[in-house]
Structure 1
Amino acid sequence: MYFDFSRYAIAAGAMFGFLLIFRLWAENRRIQTRRATRHDYAREILSSLRTVFFFGVTTLATLALSRVGVIKFEISEFPLWLALVQAAAIILAHDAWFYWTHRAMHSKLLFRPVHLHHHKSRTPTPFTAYSFTWIEAIIEAAFMPLFLLVTSLMGFAFTGLALLLFIWIQISRNVMQHAGVEIHPAGWVDSKWTDWISTTTHHDLHHSGGNHNFGFYFTWWDRWMGTEHPQYKERFRAVAKPLIQRRTKRENPASAA
């Protein structure tokens, strides 16, 4: 559990510190005018501790199942490319898991008891990343042992490095998605090389609205299922313009008209 707490604290704390140190840059890329309160921060941190507990339990369960041979992963020597390919495979699987469980949690049956707590953070902060009810925490934490169980039954053994890469990428992307400030550079949504990778604005629109943008790492599922916010790219361009342009418009509104 120490490991699960540490990675949450490091990732969320690092993002919070980054936004504080570079606050001028961050203010110019703030997505919402509304701001999180101290009460919001307290609620997020306290509920995140509960989530860390359930992640810790699933980590211990995964290790226990690996000891008895039910779940298989390799810690011996292996080529780096294999770990990278495997990490990518886990991310693709997790993106699908997140999209469909997330949509399910927005159903009338599940939203209030399972997911409403997370949406109390209408203006997300880096600490929103793990602000879940205990049920949602179990759903989120269940992915890794279930994925390893299924792949082990299919005869695949993932490397320890692939699992470690996924774990850190997952929490890093999570705090980025909840930063409240657009982290990605201008032009991100206008390039075929990057527009399929979701941005902070993409998930922030989900928190401020709730009926669109259910994806996590990528925009694919939202586009395939018709759930992407119709103004997503427009909203992204509005906050992700280069700082010098945003300053010019603020200082000389007439020239921007």
Structure 2
Amino acid sequence: MKNPQGSGLADQISVIGRPAKFWRLGAVGALLVTAFAVIPAHAADPEPEQDKVLRVCQDPNNMPFSNRDLKGFENKIAELFAKDLGWKIEYTWYPQRMGYIRNTLKKKVPDSDKFECDLVTGVAVGFDMGATTQAYYHSTYAMAYVKGKGFDDIKSPDDLLKLDPTKLKSLKLGVFGRSPVVDWLLKNGLADQMVSYQTQTGDPDQYPGEIVEKDLASGKIDVAFVWGPIAGYFAKKSLVPIVAVPLKSQPNLRMDFSIAMGTRYGEKEFKDRID
């Protein structure tokens, strides 16, 4: 559920994402400091579960959210939660593709009353396969392009539509299927320019950020439309100068979403503790 574009953060974010101000990786630290500053002291919390283990479900290869090297911001958040609780942390790794919740949050450990994990990071508020916590960030979709390729004056999707019609019709526009951006492209007669990306490829080595890091940077596509944190992270990381422009919601077309964590239904005490 990491890329409000499909069934992972993708599909979840088609149901998922922050109003106007889109994330840049540099802002993550400040946001987390603010978020954790308002977490109340928990001296009055009920006694923690007996084994004192925070079992977290995360994607092993989906930066800037999470990876096996624990370099993603959701890895960091989970670590902070475990530290605050005074618990150990354990991870269940599974690509955020079809079957993600079935193989993590809802999967029982054989010969045990425990599940593979108890907390999923990065799901949309409104996620319907479990209960959701309070949102911990809000973002929007973004449009990304390589600087110096004739797009430098584009500051919004409407600016893209103002390009010379011949140039506009020649563009290759990368977009994830089932994202709200698809509706915007269809509405503006750009269906023939769409290069569609799958959010559930079945290949664990693939990750949503490739649309920016590889295809946009190499010129395979001219403009990439992707979940904001992904656009910001890979634009900053790229050796090619990439510009990321946040997309604002429009009447009847929402581009921004709030992201929460997921727990199993019926585990109110645990969910309340995470909140």
- Report which of the two has the higher share of strand: 2
- Please confirm whether the aligned pair reaches a TM-score higher than 0.5, indicating the same fold: no
Q: Which has the higher contact order (CA 8 A, sep 6+)?
A: 2
After TM superposition, the score normalised by the length of structure 2 is 0.23
